[in-house]
Amino acid sequence: MSVVYINSAACISIQDTLNENFFQNLQPVHSPQVLKAIEPNYKEFIPPAASRRMSKTVKMSSVASKYALQEAGIENPDAIIVGTGMGCSQDSEKFLKNVIDNNEEFLTPTYFIQSTHNTVAGQIALGLQCHAYNFTYVNTSSSLEFSFLDAKLQINDGEADNILVGSTDEQTDRTMELYKLNKTIKKEENLPVDYLNSTTNGVIWGEGASFFVLGKDKTENSYAQLKDIQISSRLNLEETHQFVEDFLAKNNLKNDEIDAVILGYSGDAKSDVYYTNAMGLFQNSALLYYKHLSGEFNTASGFSTFLACHILKNQKIPEVMMINDLKKEEIKYTLLYNHLGGNDHSLVLLERA
């Protein structure tokens, strides 16, 4: 298999990740039930008339994708692949509200057309006038990983040289109300949350968009090599070690060769046990976590991939991410482990470019 490089990385999140100095200014958040992304001034990127018709996730993705393409020096990618868990849920809610308010009569189709999950990839393609392969993956917390897998296969098969891959999810008021009712989101009385030692269930919910350009050639801007991806929709707790060890063995690596492990601790006591279990395999690795910086959401792994890219490129780990005190002189291999509520487990292996 040929090498696949991550040649650019851009992210909009609850941190100021569009700022060049974001790496030194990461701020953990432990208290609000719901975290809002820091949005750019969209007028600088999108005509106001078009912006008014776009949902938040489309706008975030449009800007993040522009940053990613610009950094990679690519005007038109050979494919656009987007992963999302909830899609354009704002427009979905607006459409359903119209259905109820109008007794299912005299409905305008606009909100319905814009509510489909593939709207994001479609709008990016329209903006670029890109007629290439355009695909959207909707696989809850492994949506980005499936997108990466698709892009990696296409590059390896010689079907594409440069592919724009992204992940995006937005919040909506009604969905957040439902998440509070079904206890997906932590109760007020259980806040602030200690992400690593939580004794209560539920999470703090976030949002964001992360975009990357994957290419077959290494460039001056290359962050990392995308070595391999493993996905499992269901996993028993006692199978965690085998899941990780089989993945490393497949890539001819030993546990000690992994320099940094980024775990998706979310503060949900019920499902975080998977990370604690996996952590025992890496006695000689820097152990990191990140959802205290992003919140939990379907494609939060996009934020961790973005951070991992910068860690590999800068050869520096932000103190705010560290679980243990172990620091490696060189960071060559980084392993990302993520799931959502104990389902859809994914492993992503990155190597320094």
Q: Answer whether residue 23 is part of any domain.
A: yes
Whether 172 and 279 map to the same domain: the answer is: no
Q: Would you give per-residue pLDDT tens digits along the chain (353 residues)?
A: 578 999 999 999 999 999 989 999 999 999 999 999 999 999 999 888 888 888 899 999 999 999 999 999 999 999 999 999 988 777 777 778 878 888 888 777 777 777 788 889 999 999 999 999 999 999 999 999 999 999 999 999 999 999 999 999 999 988 999 999 999 999 999 999 999 999 999 999 999 999 999 999 999 999 999 999 999 999 999 999 999 999 999 999 999 999 999 999 999 999 999 999 999 999 999 999 999 999 999 999 999 999 999 999 999 999 999 999 998 889 999 999 999 999 999 999 999 99
Whether 172 and 40 map to the same domain: the answer is: yes
Q: Answer whether residue 247 is part of any domain.
A: yes
Q: In 10 A of CB 208, how many CB atoms?
A: 30
Q: What pLDDT shows up at residue 1?
A: 59
Q: What pLDDT shows up at residue 87?
A: 81
- Point out the domain boundary residue: 163, 192, 215: 215
- pTM score: 0.94
- Alpha helix stretches (DSSP H) within 230-286: 240-250, 269-279
Whether 83 and 201 map to the same domain: the answer is: yes
Owner of token pair 């692949």: 81
Q: What pLDDT shows up at residue 198?
A: 96
Whether 9 and 42 map to the same domain: the answer is: yes
The secondary element (H helix, E strand) that includes residue 112 is: helix 110-114
- Point out the domain boundary residue: 215, 239, 263: 215
Whether 169 and 66 map to the same domain: the answer is: yes
Whether 199 and 253 map to the same domain: the answer is: no
Whether 255 and 308 map to the same domain: the answer is: yes
Q: What pLDDT shows up at residue 330?
A: 95
CA distance linking residue 263 with residue 214, whole number of Å = 23
Q: What is the DSSP string of 115-135?
A: TSTTHHHHHHHHHHT--SEEE
Q: Answer whether residue 220 is part of any domain.
A: no
| Cβ-Cβ contacts under 8 Å for 249 (sequence gap 6 or more) | none
Q: What pLDDT shows up at residue 96?
A: 80
CA distance linking residue 25 with residue 293, whole number of Å = 11
Whether 67 and 183 map to the same domain: the answer is: yes
CA distance linking residue 233 with residue 342, whole number of Å = 9
- Point out the domain boundary residue: 215, 248, 266: 215
Whether 239 and 122 map to the same domain: the answer is: no
CA distance linking residue 179 with residue 17, whole number of Å = 26
Whether 160 and 229 map to the same domain: the answer is: no
C-alpha distances in angstroms, 327 versus 54, 144, 276, 318, 339?
A: 44, 28, 19, 11, 25
Please report, for the domain that includes residue 319, its CATH number.
3.40.47.10
Whether 328 and 303 map to the same domain: the answer is: yes
Q: Is residue 165 classed as helix, strand or coil in its secondary structure?
A: strand
Whether 238 and 175 map to the same domain: the answer is: no
Enclosing domain of residue 348: 225-352
Q: In 10 A of CB 51, how many CB atoms?
A: 14
Q: Quote the tokens at residue 159.
A: 């079907």
Q: In 10 A of CB 278, how many CB atoms?
A: 21
Domain count, the chain: 2
β-strand 224-232 against 5-12: which pairing, if any? antiparallel
Q: What pLDDT shows up at residue 112?
A: 74
Q: Which residues pair with 209 in a beta bridge?
A: 12, 168
